[in-house]
Amino acid sequence: MLKKFIAIKNVGRFRNSAGTPNPQLKRQTFIAGANGFGKTTICAILRSLSSGEPAHVVGRKTLGSTDPLSVELLLDSG
């Protein structure tokens, strides 16, 4: 189970989320935000995690960025 997003870098709207506080996720977590704030990017990350296909995330690389993209997650093995 996904417990927490540690860092999202150069994916969609996220240039570097490592310094941003983020809550520990529960079994059911509600994600809300205005248009253009990264909800679809988070869905792409979850879809990639679920399917094992990195293309969902690679296709959302931040426009204009030459730095590599990365996603760090905290997972619970249970």
- Give the pTM: 0.84
How far is the CA of 70 from the CAs of 28, 33, 34, 78, in angstroms? 25, 22, 24, 24
Mean pLDDT of the chain: 91
Whether the CB-CB separation of 11 and 71 falls below 8 Å is answered with: yes
SS3 70: strand
Question: What pLDDT is recorded for position 78?
Answer: 55
CB 27 within 8 A of CB 1: yes
Provide mean pLDDT across the span 7-20.
90
Distance separating alpha carbons of residues 72 and 4, to the nearest angstrom: 9
pLDDT in tens, 16-49: 988 777 788 888 989 899 999 999 999 999 999 9
Average pLDDT over residues 13-18: 89
